[in-house]
Structure 1
């Protein structure tokens, strides 16, 4: 199943060879999504590497979203249709999918312009009643429904993007290429709740099952708000990764 690591092979460290072997086995379907890898003892023996070297590779595979440790049960292959957020700068759904080797698509539920509400105008920094472009989509990874996404943008700012086909195209790529808008940062709030009947029907769930709701305002590289939106993820197909820092350590000592 897995061949032994060749010491000094092309100058590649053993941990990198192990990483590539296991990643390749996952890509080929030798280790299928949701399955458990052989125990570390067996893996290190078949690969002819130490447990320490093996664990370096396993941690790297975990960092890249391919493996997940389960307490007392070893390492499991991550199901492919999982969205992972937390990258900087903000990435589109299509870009996140591409990083994981998945194909993003969408069913467009609504696309058009209308007068913005007072709250929308306030969040987007436009005059109340100004036209906004709204786009509602059922987002899919490899044809598996994973999220319901709703977005709203100033129509005058994104005029060249209003009539594009977003069933397979990337909204952010269109904004960059046609509107000169470069997403730079997002104010993002994530919360959990039970799926409504509408959520459940669209996402293939049971009513009341867990969904995660992200509400955000996105800013471009000129610090202009250009998008407000909401995205509802299936709880079993979403992961948020971030880094927590002890900022107090950087504070100067009290005089």
Structure 2
């Protein structure tokens, strides 16, 4: 998977909601997958291909690009930066690669905490967060937040449409799935209409997303907890504040 995309985008002045930002994400995802695939091919040459390689489509020269959703190309004008046909020919000549699968994008919560960077593909929620799980409380700050604070784009300001397009672009260069989080403000008496949920769902289907993970909501209760900043708040009270929790099934 990818770690720290939000930090990388902030450093380069890119935004999830702008065309240039989507093209930047496309380039990052292509570079990521290309070099992983080349590395797996080299390992296949040195150590042998994965067992049961004949049960996969790699020996035929399959690439995720071949079966990607064509509606993704309508999001923006994308260009490829690497010679995929040459790589395809090498894979066919080698009868496959060392790995049967290569990429699945997870939240990377444990890795983000350990390395002090941002979670996976996700935009940040706030410049500072309290991250909790059953074992610890971690006070987290966005990398270079003092210098790049205005360059970061909050997840709460990114519509579901743009988050869907982020995941669809990355899925083009992914042979497995994505833990696709979405974010929504539900403050005061606001509510989420069923028509909005249906519309968001149909757009995800249109762009070929394979899965959806968490629907994160920013509620008035959570905002009050942040304002109070109670030092002895119980874990269940902290859970109402802005935080990321650890998930044993999806950590890297």
- Under a length normalisation based on structure 2, what TM-score does the superposition of the two structures give? 0.23
Q: Which of the two has higher C-alpha Rg?
A: 1
TM-score when normalising by structure 1: 0.23
Q: Which has the higher contact order (CA 8 A, sep 6+)?
A: 2
Greater fraction helix: 2
